[in-house]
Amino acid sequence: MAKKIFILFILVITVCLNKQFLYSEDNSAFNQPSPSALNFTIRGDVLYRLDPESCIKLYDKVAAIYSDKGTLYYIRSSGDKWIAGFFKENSKVSMEFDLPEKYEKLYKFAGSNNIFYFLVQPVNDNGENTGKKPVKVPVFIRFNPDQMNFQKLDGVLDFILLDGKSVILKDKLLDYNGSLIPLLLHGKLKISEIIDSRIAIVSDGEETEIVDIIAEKSIYQYKNNSVPEYPGEYNLVLEFGDNITRSDIPSDMGKSLYYEILVDGAEENRTETGLGALSKIFHTKLAPGRYHIIKAERWELDKSMGRYVRMNNVYQPAELKIYIPENRILKIKIEFNGTSYKINQSVIFK
């Protein structure tokens, strides 16, 4: 009997220690102090303070904890409220603050200099007020309780703290203390780590981009076992083609045409001439690490006039603002379906 009771006790402890945090999809995203750090620990969703001879329960329904510079930050729920709080080193009393809004889920949590940072999923109205299906977009929140300053930023994919400042990952951008750094990757990205307080590793699990946040530029990119082609005579490739299937489209697939290319307002050159369905390639080398304005103009052969004429603006590609990355060749594929253009951007790999 004693042996059975002992085994049951071990099972209960194991289940307790492996219980998931409330609201969290991935607990590895949180910085959890070891039992010796600040004399606090979390088991399941319960926060404890470790005294020399005892383990004192403080709060339950604790979603996450984070330690920084002698301060333990935590976030917990109480009824329908979310509460953020912190313990200073060697302090037995916490300071707590009610959050002014409600949330469905906590994705990430951090704290520094008595300021709280959250990546959360807000509670939506289920479309009752708009009649539309709600779109679940994560919200980044910076909460400074000293000034009762509550700042929100939509569309944030991930964040990390660097020297007490936030590095925010959005689609195609990395924002560090107000400096916006363009990215080539997009989709479900994460900040894997920060190296030497300046090199950010951003990845979607398959492709990885390396960013120097101090120099404010993306410096390299790779995926699986592939490496990008290194720029030589060109670092930008424009590929044009028609994909017209309907017979009632005004533009005739049998017509000969070309595209004239303007870069930053100046005429650069033109593609080769050929039928619309044939690919037309344009190569150029532009200054990397900055944006350029690319304007392509479609010219078609008018057989009645015996010359090429510029098509009406309705059938022209839109002007493109393109960031040219370091150490990579960027390819922009522009496909015309008879009424509009489809744009696809990628990096050329070996």
Measured distance CA(176)–CA(279) in Å, rounded: 40
Give the pLDDT of residue 11: 36
**Average model confidence (pLDDT) for the chain?**
84
DSSP letter (8 states) at residue 125? -
Digit-coded pLDDT (tens) for 31-65: 444 434 468 888 889 998 887 778 888 999 999 99
User: Can you tell me the distance from the alpha carbon of 14 to that of 211, in angstroms, rounded to the nearest whole number?
Assistant: 41
121: three-class secondary structure by DSSP: strand
Apex 178 CA angle, 345 and 163, nearest 5 = 110
Task: Check pLDDT > 60 for residue 20.
Answer: no
Which residues fall within 8 angstroms of residue 20, CB to CB, at 6 or more apart? 27
pLDDT for res 300: 95
- Cα separation, 29 vs 7, in Å, equals 32
Q: Is the pLDDT of residue 90 over 80?
A: no
Residue 7: is its pLDDT beyond 60? no
In the chain, the percentage of residues whose pLDDT exceeds 90 is: 61
How far apart, in whole angstroms, are the C-alpha atoms of residue 72 and residue 91?
Answer: 10
Quick one: pLDDT band at residue 292, thresholds 50, 70, 90? Answer: very high
In angstroms, the Cα distances linking 49 to 22, 66, 207 are 20, 14, 42
Residue 109 has pLDDT above 60, yes or no: yes
Considering the domain 18-223 in this protein, what is its CATH number? 2.130.10.10
Of the ranges 41-55, 59-73, 129-143, 238-252, the best mean pLDDT one: 59-73
As assigned by CATH, the class of the 236-347 domain is mainly beta
52: tokens are 């020399």
**pLDDT tens readout for residues 293-340:** 999 999 999 988 999 999 999 999 999 999 999 999 999 999 999 889
The pLDDT, as a whole number, for residue 187 is 85
Structure tokens at 216: 């404010």
Would you state the structure tokens that stand for residue 136, as one six-digit string?
A: 């679940």
Averaged over 266-286, what is the pLDDT? 93
Q: Distance (Å, rounded) from C-alpha 290 to C-alpha 181?
A: 10
Measure the CA–CA gap between 327 and 340, rounded to whole angstroms: 32
Pick from 335, 323, 339: nearest CA to 296 = 335
- pLDDT, tens digit, for every residue of 163-173? 889 999 998 89
**Domain extent listing, the chain:** 18-223, 236-347
